[in-house]
Amino acid sequence: MQFFKTVCVGLAAISGAAADHIKFQIRNGELPAHAVNLGGWLVAEHWMTGSSPIWEGVPDDIANQGEYATMKHLGHDVGDARFEQHRQQWITEDDIREIAERGLNTVRVPVGYWIMGEDPTDWPHIEQYKVYAPGALAYLDTLMNEWADKYNVAVILSLHAHKGSQNGRDHSAPTEIGVKNWAKYWENIESSVVWAKFMAARYKDSPAFLGLNLMNEPEYDTDPNVVHGYFERTYKEIRDTGNDCVIAVSPMLTEQGPPTMMDFMRWPAYYNVWHEWHPYFVWGYDDMNEEQLIEAVKEYGRAHIEPWSGNWLFLGEWSMASPGSASFNDDDQFRRFGQTMLDVFRGAHQGWSFWSWRVSGDEDGRNGWSMRQMLRNGWLTL
Per-residue model confidence (pLDDT) at position 17: 56
pLDDT tens-digit series, residues 250-287: 999 999 999 999 999 999 999 999 999 999 999 999 99
Domains of the chain: 2-376 (3.20.20.80)
pLDDT at 181: 98
CA distance 215 to 284: 23
pLDDT attached to residue 124: 84
What pLDDT is recorded for position 364? 87
Question: pTM score, two decimals?
Answer: 0.94
Mean residue pLDDT across the chain: 95
